[in-house]
């Protein structure tokens, strides 16, 4: 594994904001696909999952950053996993205490936060190098980006698949729900469609930038 | 759930509730290593092995933890066992097939964070399967994973020769394909007993 630059990052607005868009874990880095697709069948599930993941990200990030000088390099991945699993167990029991309905809806995917690549990726690439406060801020940014992505999927799937948003009916009685959207294929389709949209926006931007030089970008 | 017959468990895990296409477990390797059939096949075999070993180990651990009334440690123990199993497979593959080791690359150690493996351990606990049922469940899940991976790899090998619009290249197109495959697998829904 390549050695990452070990400079200490200064705390700035960018530490938080880049998690929202430039390093958005779902849309840009394509990490954490499993929970993204599985629990985004309604907006409320999506947001709760996002918040639970944010808590684990922030908690484990802070602890790993605090312990970074004491964790031996050889066993770091195992140590990170154990720390992450501890926080996931806390979230698991907390959700069970707060709302049993939600617990049933999210099912095994709460415990599966342990194997969310976003969290381990952050631990390895950021928390193990940086001081406590920047780590906390960065984790919250990534968590917020994840929550936004989940909400983008969850709301579209809920609106199309059951005609509701947060359980409120949006359309009249004549609305025929597009049931496939809340079923597994819908998850793939909606995420694919979002990526298509972002690709299109990005390519259009590039084409505009290329246009003055007289080379059409689509002439391949 | 105790009465469920072994073939039904196998079919359920492999086809009706396919781990990848119906339950969204193991999407990362599904998108990452599905560009060549041969790599996909080897990845499938590695995952089946890890699934079987970790399923057996998870059964033992669960029995121990329930007897000691330490259920809250379940998640931590499971993940530790899975990580060591993957380490074992990695050493084995590196020793006996360096070429395969290189072609699987980063995705081999990442089997640890393959949700299918931890998911299987959690589901078999939830469904209270006995030892044999757990093993059959693991085998079915692995077969389903390999099947999905191979189907995807076949499609993508063909797709490499097709002309697709620029804008849909890469992950977006793969996801759309996965959606179509998933739609096809929904057709099997009436085949087995319904379960989570």
Q: Which sequence spans correspond to the domains of chain A? A: 15-194
**What local confidence, expressed as pLDDT, does residue B46 receive?**
84
Helical ranges in A39-165 per DSSP H: 43-66, 76-98, 100-106, 117-122, 132-162
Question: Is A185 in Cβ contact with B179 (below 8 Å)?
Answer: yes
**What local confidence, expressed as pLDDT, does residue A2 receive?**
40
**What local confidence, expressed as pLDDT, does residue A217 receive?**
47
Q: Which residues of chain A have pLDDT under 70?
A: 1-9, 211-220
How many Å lie between the alpha carbon of A30 and the closest alpha carbon of chain B?
A: 8
Helical ranges in chain B per DSSP H: 6-11, 27-32, 37-68, 74-96, 98-104, 115-126, 131-159, 171-186
Q: Is B39 part of any domain? A: yes
The residue range of the domain holding B109 is 6-186
**What local confidence, expressed as pLDDT, does residue A7 receive?**
62
Between positions 109 and 138 of B, the ones with CB within 8 A of A are: 110, 112-115, 117-119, 122-123, 126
**What local confidence, expressed as pLDDT, does residue B3 receive?**
66
Q: Is the pLDDT of residue B135 over 70?
A: yes
Q: Domain total for chain B?
A: 1
**What local confidence, expressed as pLDDT, does residue A1 receive?**
38
Question: Is A120 in Cβ contact with B80 (below 8 Å)?
Answer: no
Give the tens place of pLDDT for each residue, A35-63. 888 888 888 889 999 999 999 999 999 99
DSSP A168: E
How far is Cα B156 from Cα B131, in angstroms, rounded to an integer?
A: 37
Q: Is B51 part of any domain? A: yes
Q: Is B57 part of any domain? A: yes
Give the tens place of pLDDT for each residue, A112-130. 888 888 888 888 888 888 8
Decide which of B87 and A4 is more confident. Answer: B87
ipTM over 0.90: no
Tell me which chain A residue has its CA closest to the CA of residue B25.
A34
Q: Is residue B59 within 8 angstroms of chain A, CB to CB?
A: no
Q: Is B43 part of any domain? A: yes
Q: Is B194 part of any domain? A: no
Between positions 12 and 31 of B, the ones with CB within 8 A of A are: 21-28, 31
Q: Which of B118, B172, B174, B177 to mutate to test the interface with A (most CBs of A within 10 A)?
A: B172
Which residues lie below 8 Å from residue A69, measured CB to CB, with a gap of 6+?
Answer: none
Tokens of A139: 């984790």
Q: What is the mean pLDDT of residues B131-149?
A: 91
Q: Please check whether residue B11 is in contact with residue B195, taking contact to mean a CB–CB distance below 8 angstroms.
A: no
Question: Is B118 in Cβ contact with A111 (below 8 Å)?
Answer: yes
Query: In angstroms, what CA-CA distances link A6 with A87, A129, B94?
Result: 26, 6, 30
């Amino acid at each position: 594994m390549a050695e990452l630059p070990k400079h200490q990052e200064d705390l700035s607005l960018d530490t938080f904001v880049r998690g929202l868009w430039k390093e958005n874990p779902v849309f840009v880095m394509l990490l954490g696909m499993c929970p993204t697709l599985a629990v985004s069948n309604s907006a409320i599930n999506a947001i709760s999952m996002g918040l639970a993941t944010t808590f684990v990200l922030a908690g484990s990030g802070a602890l790993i950053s605090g312990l970074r000088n004491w964790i031996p390099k050889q066993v770091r991945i195992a140590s990170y996993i154990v720390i992450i699993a501890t926080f996931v167990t806390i979230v698991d029991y907390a959700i069970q205490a707060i709302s049993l309905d939600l617990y049933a809806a999210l099912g095994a995917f709460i415990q599966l936060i342990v194997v969310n690549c976003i969290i381990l990726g952050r631990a390895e690439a950021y928390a193990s190098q940086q001081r406590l406060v920047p780590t906390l801020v960065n984790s919250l940014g990534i968590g917020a980006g994840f929550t936004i992505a989940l909400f983008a999927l969850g709301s579209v799937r809920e609106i199309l698949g059951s005609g509701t948003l947060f359980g409120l009916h949006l359309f009249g009685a004549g609305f025929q729900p597009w049931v496939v959207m809340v079923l597994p294929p819908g998850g793939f389709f909606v995420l694919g469609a979002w990526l298509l949209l972002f690709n299109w926006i990005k390519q259009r931007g590039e084409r505009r930038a290329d246009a003055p030089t007289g080379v059409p970008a689509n002439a391949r | 759930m105790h009465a469920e017959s072994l073939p039904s468990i196998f079919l359920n895990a492999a086809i009706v509730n396919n781990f990848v296409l119906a339950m969204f477990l193991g999407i990362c390797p599904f998108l990452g290593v599905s560009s060549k059939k041969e790599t996909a096949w080897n990845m499938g075999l590695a995952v089946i092995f890890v699934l079987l070993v970790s399923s057996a180990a998870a059964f033992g651990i669960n029995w121990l933890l329930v007897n000691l009334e330490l259920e809250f440690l379940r998640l931590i123990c499971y993940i530790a066992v899975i990580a060591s199993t993957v380490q074992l497979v990695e050493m084995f593959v590196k020793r006996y097939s360096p070429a395969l080791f290189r072609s699987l690359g980063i995705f081999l150690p990442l089997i640890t964070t393959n949700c299918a493996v931890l998911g299987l351990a959690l589901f078999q606990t939830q469904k209270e399967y006995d030892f044999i049922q757990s093993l059959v469940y693991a085998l079915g899940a692995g077969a389903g994973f390999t099947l999905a991976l191979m189907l995807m790899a076949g499609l993508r090998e063909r797709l490499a020769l097709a002309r697709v619009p620029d804008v849909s290249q890469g992950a977006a197109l793969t996801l759309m394909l996965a959606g179509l495959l998933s739609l096809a697998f929904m057709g099997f829904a009436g085949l087995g007993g319904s379960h989570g």
